[in-house]
Structure 1
Amino acid sequence: MKIRSVFNIASAILSCALVASAQSPDPVGTIYHGPVPDNLHGSDYRYPWPVKLFNFYNQRQNLSMAFMDVPARKKCDKEKVAVLLHGGNFCGVTWSATARKLSAAGYRVILPDDIGFCKSSKPQGYSYNVNQQALNINSLLTALGIEQVTVVGHSMGGMIAARYGLMYPETVNQLFLVDPLGLEDWVAKGVPFLPIDASYESQVTQNFTTLKEYEAASYFHGAVWKSEYDTWVQMLANIYAGDHGSDYAYVMALVTDTLLSQPVLYQLPHLQTRTYLMVGENDITALGKAWSSADVAAELGHYSTLGPAAAALIPNCTFHMFPGLGHAPFLQDPKAFYELFFSWLD
């Protein structure tokens, strides 16, 4: 009874915050520091730090971006800030171990859930343009008073991070791209158009088993599945099975359609930021592979060649390929990942 009472109070406070935002649209946005329910916008996964909300008005609707703000545990002469951007089948919380290490090294760490994902709003009538997601992240950082940042992005988050570097180069100290999507033009290579309705139908049936099968085959190709990966699969499966599951499935369909049309490959020569690109040698992740012909699918997602080719296009780039690792090296071999990451940092 006591737990339900606390939940109701938190829900009421959150509702008041969102209603206030709806009554007075604010394009700049405001930060809500109050309590929020554990089950927020369909995600009941427990986050290790307090969840805060960035409430803002965008595309003619009021939105709420969930994020964690992890303070630096080590004092530095000048504040250092890192923002960690998650992949499409992950959430900001997946970067928790990295956030702890950065905090211990003197970084304040911002862990957002992109609009449409995890504990953030899941608008159905929304353009999930990669540039829009980068703009949303910049709006959050502006609302927090952060002017300079190290940007780290994985998978879809790597695409957003690259766009962020292109749009706001003067604000980026360093740019880390971890197995980013968009290093190839999937459509140009033959991936056929998939109607959003058909994409939605394939998403709405997702569950723990199907998600695990996909991630095991694509993200950890050729590797033994570790039990600690299950928590990240369950995190997503719970969203699909929850009250916002249908909304989330439609968001994923919209996001997939958008990403297919916006590979970052062609913009890489214009990146002026200090960029670090790291990929797993065994990464075979590619959008559209599931509904392409066998011949087309065989040509997609070869990061062992995509990685070096992309690095050659970026003017100020340092590149590394992790031997034997797949799409998520920071999960598959944390020791190897952190040794490299912190040797490059600053």
Structure 2
Amino acid sequence: MTHLNLAIEHWPLHSPFTIARGTKTAADVIVATLTDQQGLIGRGEAVPYGHYGESTDSVYAQIMAVRDQIERPMTPQELHQRNTLPPGAGRAAVDAALWDLHARQTNLPVWRHTRQQPPHTYPTAYTLSLGSPAQMATVAERVSTYPLLKLKLGGDNDIACVTAVRNAAPDCRLIVDVNEGWSLEQLNDYAPRMADLGVELLEQPLPPAQDTALDGYCGAVPLCADESFHHSDDFATLSAAYGYINIKMEKTGGLTEALRCAEQAESMGLKLMVGCMVATSLAMAPAFLLAGRAEYIDLDGPLLLRNDRPEGFVYHHGYMSWPPHSPKHTPLWGYASD
């Protein structure tokens, strides 16, 4: 038997973070902790997302309703095969905790269990909150030596914002995330202008319900599905206009399904972005195992927080590295036992 403990944690942001749908000032996360009879511990963190009908309270209750099944215990694969929890933040947190515990019990890190590349240092996108052109340019200038910037758009001055960022950070690669904030007319108008400004990728320009309108899209900037893609069931209805999918643990329901999605996407010729919600390094860790397979890595959530976990990832000038072992802190996630 294992023991499951759940906690709701509140992590303030260092400044308000705005996207097309609204503004947030803190990350409220669910942390699942599993302890086995030998005292070994596995942890997982996920962000309940209101846009998908979740809250910390609803996800907490969802997990507690199947607590007995989780404690029997089970493997990450069984969690998915038995559909113990639906895809979403609850399953993602428990899935991560199961993988973490399994790594410690078997004395093998999760990347070996899942046959992924060993963790390296990778460039991650640094996300600029939606704001005025001047506000976004100020931030862009501060991080102008970073390799990749991701611009949140969906406002009234999108072209002006991208132009201001490009002028402030002429050497940075740029990708854009609209969070469903455009119409088809705006997409067709903006895409060529974005291409001229060096934008490499447009993420989720339209709401998913309007994706059929994308079927004739042949713009110069490739499209990436975010809100339109959650888990492997969505491949059947995914618009052919998308050349990329954004895999997030909270959408797939954890690493187990994320790996399945990555394999299926690759077999279909789709390219990968691995993304995140705003959360601590504990939530980034499972997603980081997919970094070696992704064209774009967007795992900068901890950089938006006032403070991260002390055992978190090392971020330096737009690059992120797996946290080193430290006798002062419990290993973050997915390690073999010491």
Q: Which band: TM-score by shorter chain?
A: under 0.3
Higher strand share: 2
- After TM superposition, the score normalised by the length of structure 2 is 0.27
